[in-house]
Amino acid sequence: MYRTPAFVTALLFAVAALFAVTARESARVRQTGSGPSRAGGAVERCVSCHVRPDEDPGGAHSRAALGCASCHLGNPLAFDKERAHAGMEPEPGALSTVASTCGRTGCHPREAERVASSLMARGSGIIGVDRFAFGEIPVPETADTMARLISRDRPSPAEDHLRKLCAGCHLGTRRNGRDDAIRGNGSGCAACHVARRTEGEKRPHPPVDSRIGDDRCFGCHSRSGRIALTYQGLFEVEPDQRRTSGTETAGALEDGRPVCRASADVHLASGLGCVDCHLHTDLMGDGTRPAHKEQQVEITCEACHGPAGPDGEAAWREGTDPVTRDLLRTRKESRPEDERVRLGRRGTPVWNLRPSPGGKGWVLLRKSDGKPVAVKPTPRDRNHGLKGHERLSCSACHAAWAPLCTTCHTALDPAGKQWDFSASAETAGRWTEKSEGFGAGRPALGVRGDGAIVPAIPGMLMSVLPAGGGERTVRLYAPIEPHSTGSRARSCASCHSREAARSIAGELPWEGTRTGFRPLSAGEIRKVSSVAENPAFRAECRSDRLDSRPPTP
Amino acid sequence: MDREDLTPAAGSPAKPSGSFGRLSSGFLAVSLLSGAALVPHYDPAAALSSLESIASGIPLGAFLRGLHAWSSYGLLLALVVHAVEVARKRTEGQLAAGVWWRAVALLPLLVLALLGGFVLRGDAEARAAADVWRGMTSSIPGAGPPLAALLLGGPGSGLGAAALHHAGTFSILLVILTVEHARVVWPGTRPSVLAALASVGAAGLLTVPLGPPPPGHGVLLGPWPLLGLQGMLVDLPAAAGWIVPLAGVLLLGSLRGAAGPARTAALAALAALAAGWAAFTLRILVLAGH
Amino acid sequence: MSSRRDFLGEVWRWTGAALSVLGLGVVWKSLAAKGESREVDLPSDLVQRLSGDGGQGIAVGPLFLTGTPSAPKALSLECTHLGCRVAPLPSGAFACPCHGSRFDSEGRATSGPARRPLARAVLEKRGDRWIARI
C-alpha cells in the first residue's frame, strides 16, 4: 500500500487539487466585497458588495438599518454571490413571500395580513361581477379570490378573461419584469409603497415609504371606473373620437390611451391626493373579507364635512384601532386623549383630520407634507335639507360628471395569443374589446339595496363572445363614487324635468353589479319629473348656487 | 482495568494487523491538525456565520475546512476497512480483551465526533441532526435524558457543549484509544503523507456543503455515514436508532474469541447489517427526492 | 504480609469504585436538574393577529398559534417522533423534515413514524401577556 504507485497517484491528485485551490482562492478575493459586513446590528454581508449610494432606499428602510436581506431574502451570511443570492426575492412585498419580508415579526405583520385579506389582493368584486356578466354565476357576488383563480387548471371563459385583462391589477400578481404603468412598481406592498423605478440602464433603488403619490394609484385606478383619471379631470376617448369631439384634448396616457380634459375634482384643486382622504383600512383592509369596494372603503364625505352621525365622532381615548396608533407612533405624533376625532364608517379614526387650531371646524393634514387644508362644513341651508332628498348620497348631486362607455364588444379570438398574468407568459386565446365610443357626462342614478340613491354608470354594457358559446349581451350598471366632486351641485333642472327624470335613470332596463342595486322605478321617475310641474318648485330652487352648466363635455 | 490487559495475549510481540490501521492514524493526525487550525475562526454562538466566513471570508478557509472534513471522512473509511482487514486476518486475538473492546469503541466514538462536526455547521440540516441526536439519546431507557444533556447541553442550549465534545472529549478519546491498541504514539511518515495527499486532493477538488438546503426539498438529510440510520427511523421503531448501532458494535466486538460457526454467524450478521444500512441509505435518499 | 497487601489493594479498589459511583451520581444529578417545562412569552401583538376563522396560524419559536385573540391555542412544533421542528404547510397540516411524519391541523399524527399527537402548550394569561408552558 505504501509503495511508489500509490504515492505518485496521491501526489498527482493533490497537485491537481492545489491548482483548483489557487483558482478558487483568486476568485474568492475578486468576489469578496470591501464594504461593511454588518447592517442594523446583525451580520449582513450583502452590504460588503452592494455599496453604491444608489442601492440604498434610504429612510426607515435604509441599507444601514436593515441591510438587504431583510427585504430581499437570500443568504446574508454568505460571501460569494452565488450562495448569497440563492433564494432571493426579486420582488420584496410580493404577497407569496410577504410573511418573510415586509410582514416578518417585528416589522409589519399585521399590515401584511390585512392586505392579504383586502379587496385589492382578493379581487372578489371584479371576479363576482365578471363571472356574473358572463352568466357563470346567478348573483354578482363571490368569495373567490384572484390567488385561487390564477392557480386554477381549467379556467372558465370569465376566469380566462380575468386572467388576461384584469389580474394585472391584482396585488398578488408578480411584476415579472413588466415595466408598464400597472406593474412598474412591483406587487403586494411594493405596488403602493415603492416608487416607480426609472427606465433605462441605471435603476437606483427607489425609496420605500408611506408617502404614496397619486401616480402609484393611477396605474390600476385609471381603468374600469377610471376614478384616478376622473379625479384629475381626464376622460378617455377613442383614438378617432379625439379629432371630432371638439373638446380640449390632453394628449395620451403613458399606455397610449388618448384622453380629453373635463373639470377636475375640487379636492385635487385643494392639493389633496388619494391617500389624504382614504384611510389605511380603505387601502389595506382591516382583516375582514369584503366582497365589493364600498364594503372596504370607510371614508365618507360626512367624516370631514359633517354632519357626523352619532357614531361618527369620538375622543382619541375611545379609539381602539391599534394600526392607527402604530401609525401615529411611527410618525412620532401623539394626540391628546380627550381630543375629538372623526371616524370612518367602521370606526377607524381619520387621524389626519384635526379640530382646527381656531377651535371651529376641522382641518385635514396632507399626509405627504403635513400641510393643513381647511375643510368646509356642509352648509345647514335649504338645499341640504330639501324634503324628498334624504336618500340622496352627497355625490348624487355633487358628482359633476362620470366616464360613460356606451357599448363594449368583448370577444375571444381563439387563434390569438395574449399575456396571461397567471402564467406570466403569453397563452392561447386573445380577448379583444371594441368600444363604440367613450364619453363623459352626468352619471345616472341608481338605488342601492339600503335605499340610498347614488351615481351609477354603465359597468358592463357588453356583448360577450366567448369561443364556442353564443353571443350574450348584458347591460350592467355599477354604483360609483365618480371622484369628480364639484363645490356646486347639479342643478334642480338636471333631474326635475320630464326629459331629465327619464335620463337620470340610465339606459333602461339594466341590472346592477351588486345584489339589490336597481334603476329608479317607474314610480320614482314619475315622482321626480312631477316636481317640475309643482308651482312651488321654481320659487324654492336656489339655482343661483348650483351648477347649471350643461354636463361636461 | 487490569494491567494485564496491556500485555498481548499471544505473548509474542504483536504483528501489525494491516496497512489501513496505519492509514487511519495518518488521517486522524491530518484531521486533528486541520481541526485545530479551524478553531480560531469558529464561533459556536454564530456557527453558520463563522462557517460562511471560513468558507469564503478568510484566505484558504474553504480548503482548510475541506481538509478537516475529508480527512475525517477518510479516517472513517480507513477505520471501517481496517476492521474488515482485522476480521479477515483474524488478528483481533493480538489484543487483550479490554484493549480490543476499547478499540472497537473507536468506531462509534468516531461517528459521534463526525455527527458533532455536522451539528456544528449550525444550518437547518445541522439543527435537525442535533434535534434527532438529542431525541434519540433521550429515548435510551434510564440513562437517556442525562446522557443527552451531557452530550448536547440542556434543551434550548447552544452549540457550546457539542463544540467542546467534538474538539475535546471525542478527540482525546480517539487519540488515547488509537495509541493504546496501536502501541505507537506517532503515525509513520508514509501513512501520514499518503493521508495528507489524499485529504489535500479531496479538499481541493470537492466542496463541503454548507448553509440552507435548496428550497423545495421536504427532507433534511443528516451526515452521510448516518443516512442509513435516518432511513431506518422512517420505518422502524425509534429504539432501532440505538439498538442497531449497539448491535453492530457488539457483533464486531464479539469476533474476538469467536470461532467456527459462531464467528461465521457474527460475520454474516455484520454483513446483513451493512447491507441493511446501505438499503436504508437509499431509502432516505429516495424519500428526499434525490 | 502478602494478605495485608492484598487487603490494602482491595481497600484501594473498593474506594475507587465507590468514588466512581459517587462521581457518576454527582454528574447525573447535575444533568437531571434541568427543568422539565419551559415558558414561552407570546407577544400580545402576535396573539392579536389570530383571525380565528381557520386562517393560517402563526409560528412563534417552538410553538404554532391558532384560535382567536381571546382564546388562543398553541401546538408544540416539536415532532413527537424524535424532536425535529415540524414545518407548518399551507394546508394547515404539519410535516417533519427528518423522517417524514405528518400531522393534521389539530396536531394528530396522520402518517410516518410519529404516533403521538403534537403536544398542546398550556396557555395562561398574565396581565395583558400570554405565557405558554411546554
For chains B and C, CB pairs below 8 A equal: 69
Put simply, the answer to whether A16 touches B205 (Cβ < 8 Å) is: yes
Q: Which of C43, C49, C60 sits opposite A113 (nearest CB)?
A: C49
Task: Count Cβ atoms below 10 Å from residue A7 Cβ, excluding itself.
Answer: 14
Put simply, the answer to whether A2 touches B19 (Cβ < 8 Å) is: yes
Interval B113-119 mean pLDDT: 96
User: Are A362 and A354 spatial neighbours (Cβ–Cβ below 8 Å)?
Assistant: yes
Sheet holding C58-60, edge to edge: C58-60, C63-67, C72-76
Is the pLDDT score of A329 beyond 90? no
Q: Model confidence at B56, in pLDDT bands (50, 70, 90)?
A: confident
Residue listed under C-alpha cell 327624470? A501
Q: What is the pLDDT of residue A407?
A: 74
User: Are A398 and A489 spatial neighbours (Cβ–Cβ below 8 Å)?
Assistant: yes
Chain C interface includes B230 (CB < 8 A)? yes
Give the closest residue to B250 by CA, choosing from B108, B143, B151, B132: B108
Which residues of A fall within a CB distance of 8 Å from B215?
Answer: 87
Is the pLDDT score of A475 beyond 70? yes
Q: Which of B50-59, B215-224, C1-10 has the lowest mean pLDDT?
A: B215-224
Is the pLDDT score of B282 beyond 60? yes
Q: What region does A452 belong to: left with phi over 0, alpha with psi -120 to 50, or beta?
A: beta
Q: What is the pLDDT of residue C29?
A: 84
Give the closest residue to A505 by CA, choosing from A526, A485, A480: A526
Take residue A519 and report the three cell numbers written for it.
Answer: 334603476
Q: Model confidence at B235, in pLDDT bands (50, 70, 90)?
A: very high
User: Are A338 and A316 spatial neighbours (Cβ–Cβ below 8 Å)?
Assistant: yes
Contacts of A83 (CB under 8 A, 6+ apart): A75, B52, B56, B211
User: Are A373 and A363 spatial neighbours (Cβ–Cβ below 8 Å)?
Assistant: yes
Summarised one tens digit per residue, pLDDT across range C108-131 is: 999 999 999 999 988 888 877 888
Indicate the domain borders of chain B: 17-207, 219-290
- Average pLDDT value for chain A: 86
Which residues of A fall within a CB distance of 8 Å from C46?
Answer: 105, 109
Give the closest residue to A183 by CA, choosing from A255, A123, A252: A255
User: Are A126 and A168 spatial neighbours (Cβ–Cβ below 8 Å)?
Assistant: no
Is the pLDDT score of B13 beyond 60? no
Which residues of A fall within a CB distance of 8 Å from C48?
Answer: 110, 322
User: What is the DSSP pairing of strand A472-479 with strand A511-512?
Assistant: parallel
Summarised one tens digit per residue, pLDDT across range A268-315 is: 999 999 999 999 999 999 888 899 999 999 999 999 998 888 889 999
Take residue A95 and report the three cell numbers written for it.
Answer: 404577497
Summarised one tens digit per residue, pLDDT across range C34-70 is: 556 678 888 777 777 676 555 567 888 888 988 887 8
* SS3 labels along A351-400: CCEEECCCCCCEEEECCCCCCEEECCCCCCCHHHHCCCCCCECHHHHHEC
Put simply, the answer to whether A322 touches C49 (Cβ < 8 Å) is: no
Is the pLDDT score of B175 beyond 50? yes
Chains in contact with A, where contact means 3 or more Cβ–Cβ distances below 8 Å, are: B, C
For helices B106-119 and B124-138, give the axis angle rounded to 10 degrees.
Answer: 140
Q: What is the pLDDT of residue C91?
A: 78
Which residues of C fall within a CB distance of 8 Å from B234?
Answer: 99-100, 112-113
Contacts of A526 (CB under 8 A, 6+ apart): A501
Residue listed under C-alpha cell 427607489? A206
User: Are B107 and B24 spatial neighbours (Cβ–Cβ below 8 Å)?
Assistant: no
Question: How far apart (Å, rounded) are the C-alpha atoms in residues A397 and B156?
Answer: 67
Q: Which of A7, A31, A32 sits opposite B194 (nearest CB)?
A: A7
Q: What is the pLDDT of residue A406?
A: 72
Please report, to the nearest 10 degrees, the dihedral formed by the alpha carbons of residues A537, A539, A545, A551 taken in order: 40
**Nearest chain C residue (CA) to B154:** C34
Q: What is the pLDDT of residue B14?
A: 45
Give the closest residue to B116 by CA, choosing from B135, B130, B132: B130
Q: Model confidence at A548, in pLDDT bands (50, 70, 90)?
A: low
Take residue A42 and report the three cell numbers written for it.
Answer: 446583525
Put simply, the answer to whether B19 touches A78 (Cβ < 8 Å) is: no
User: What is the DSSP pairing of strand A438-441 with strand A402-405?
Assistant: antiparallel
A42/A446: higher pLDDT:
A446
SS3 state at C94: strand
**Nearest chain C residue (CA) to B146:** C31
Summarised one tens digit per residue, pLDDT across range B198-211 is: 999 999 999 888 87
Chain C interface includes B213 (CB < 8 A)? no
Interface probe with B: pick from C86, C98, C133, C134, most Cβ of B within 10 Å: C98
Distance in Å, alpha carbon of B289 to nearest chain A alpha carbon: 19
Summarised one tens digit per residue, pLDDT across range A419-471 is: 888 777 888 889 888 777 788 888 999 999 999 999 999 877 667 766 566 77
Q: Model confidence at B17, in pLDDT bands (50, 70, 90)?
A: low
Summarised one tens digit per residue, pLDDT across range A477-515 is: 999 999 999 988 888 888 888 888 888 998 889 999 999
Please compute, for residue B18, the number of CA atoms within 13 A of its CA located in the half-sphere on the CB side: 19
Q: Which of A107-116, A134-143, A543-552 has the lowest mean pLDDT?
A: A543-552
Q: What is the pLDDT of residue B7?
A: 40
User: What is the DSSP pairing of strand A402-405 with strand A340-342?
Assistant: unpaired
Q: What share of chain A in percent tops pLDDT 70?
A: 91
User: Are A116 and A85 spatial neighbours (Cβ–Cβ below 8 Å)?
Assistant: no
Interface probe with A: pick from C44, C47, C51, most Cβ of A within 10 Å: C51
Give the closest residue to A284 by CA, choosing from A207, A349, A213, A189: A189
Is the pLDDT score of B71 beyond 90? yes
Question: How far apart (Å, rounded) are the C-alpha atoms in residues A105 and A182?
Answer: 29
Question: How far apart (Å, rounded) are the C-alpha atoms in residues A477 and A443?
Answer: 10
Residue listed under C-alpha cell 423605478? A197
Summarised one tens digit per residue, pLDDT across range A356-367 is: 988 788 999 999
Put simply, the answer to whether B197 touches A83 (Cβ < 8 Å) is: no
Q: What is the pLDDT of residue A552?
A: 47
User: Are C98 and B124 spatial neighbours (Cβ–Cβ below 8 Å)?
Assistant: no
Task: Count Cβ atoms below 10 Å from residue A357 Cβ, excluding itself.
Answer: 8
Q: What is the pLDDT of residue A323?
A: 83
Chain A interface includes C49 (CB < 8 A)? yes
Put simply, the answer to whether C85 touches B218 (Cβ < 8 Å) is: no
Interval B238-243 mean pLDDT: 90
Look up the ipTM and state it.
0.83
CB burial of residue B202 (10 Å; 0-12, 13-18, 19+): buried
Put simply, the answer to whether A109 touches C48 (Cβ < 8 Å) is: no
A248/A541: higher pLDDT:
A541
Question: How far apart (Å, rounded) are the C-alpha atoms in residues B84 and B87?
Answer: 5
Q: Which residues of chain A have a Cβ shorter than 8 Å from any chain C Cβ?
A: 105, 109-110, 113, 287, 322
Is the pLDDT score of A521 beyond 90? yes
Interval A326-340 mean pLDDT: 86
Task: Count Cβ atoms below 10 Å from residue A78 Cβ, excluding itself.
Answer: 25
Question: How far apart (Å, rounded) are the C-alpha atoms in residues A293 and A478?
Answer: 11
**Angle, alpha carbons C73-C76-C78 (nearest 5°):** 165
Give the closest residue to B103 by CA, choosing from B29, B25, B181: B181
Summarised one tens digit per residue, pLDDT across range B263-275 is: 999 999 999 999 9
Summarised one tens digit per residue, pLDDT across range A205-248 is: 888 988 888 988 988 898 888 999 999 999 888 877 654 455 66
Interface probe with B: pick from A79, A81, A89, most Cβ of B within 10 Å: A79
Question: How far apart (Å, rounded) are the C-alpha atoms in residues B288 and C99?
Answer: 10
Is the pLDDT score of B115 beyond 90? yes
Give the closest residue to C76 by CA, choosing from C66, C63, C86: C63
Give the closest residue to A112 by CA, choosing from C61, C46, C105, B215: C46
Put simply, the answer to whether C38 touches B136 (Cβ < 8 Å) is: no
Summarised one tens digit per residue, pLDDT across range A379-424 is: 988 888 888 899 999 999 999 999 987 777 788 888 899 988 877 7
B280/A427: higher pLDDT:
B280
Residue A461's DSSP bridge partners are: A475
Q: What is the pLDDT of residue A409?
A: 78
Fold of B17-207: Cytochrome Bc1 Complex; Chain C (1.20.810)
Contacts of B104 (CB under 8 A, 6+ apart): B249, B252, B253
Q: Which of A64-68, A547-551, C86-90 has the lowest mean pLDDT?
A: A547-551
Q: What region does B23 belong to: left with phi over 0, alpha with psi -120 to 50, or beta?
A: alpha
Distance in Å, alpha carbon of C30 to nearest chain B alpha carbon: 9
Q: What share of chain C in percent tops pLDDT 90?
A: 37
User: Are B231 and B284 spatial neighbours (Cβ–Cβ below 8 Å)?
Assistant: yes
**Nearest chain B residue (CA) to A79:** B56
Put simply, the answer to whether A110 touches C48 (Cβ < 8 Å) is: yes
Distance in Å, alpha carbon of C80 to nearest chain A alpha carbon: 27
Q: What is the pLDDT of residue B10?
A: 41
Q: Which residues of chain B have a Cβ shorter than 8 Å from any chain A Cβ?
A: 19-20, 23, 46, 48-49, 52-53, 55-57, 59-60, 62-63, 190-191, 193-194, 196-198, 200-205, 211-212, 214-215
Put simply, the answer to whether C49 touches A110 (Cβ < 8 Å) is: yes
Which residues of C fall within a CB distance of 8 Å from B281?
Answer: none
Question: How far apart (Å, rounded) are the C-alpha atoms in residues B53 and B60?
Answer: 11
Chain C interface includes B289 (CB < 8 A)? no
Interval A523-551 mean pLDDT: 73
Give the closest residue to A352 by CA, choosing from A363, A337, A336: A363
Indicate the domain borders of chain A: 274-365, 387-545
Please compute, for residue A472, the number of CA atoms within 13 A of its CA located in the half-sphere on the CB side: 20
Q: Model confidence at B215, in pLDDT bands (50, 70, 90)?
A: low
Q: Model confidence at B97, in pLDDT bands (50, 70, 90)?
A: very high
* Alpha-carbon dihedral sign for residues B2, B3, B4, B7: positive
Chains in contact with B, where contact means 3 or more Cβ–Cβ distances below 8 Å, are: A, C
Summarised one tens digit per residue, pLDDT across range A164-181 is: 888 888 888 887 777 666
Q: What is the pLDDT of residue B214?
A: 56
Interval B94-123 mean pLDDT: 94
Q: Model confidence at A377, in pLDDT bands (50, 70, 90)?
A: very high
Please compute, for residue A429, the number of CA atoms within 13 A of its CA located in the half-sphere on the CB side: 20
Q: Name residue B39's amino acid.
A: V
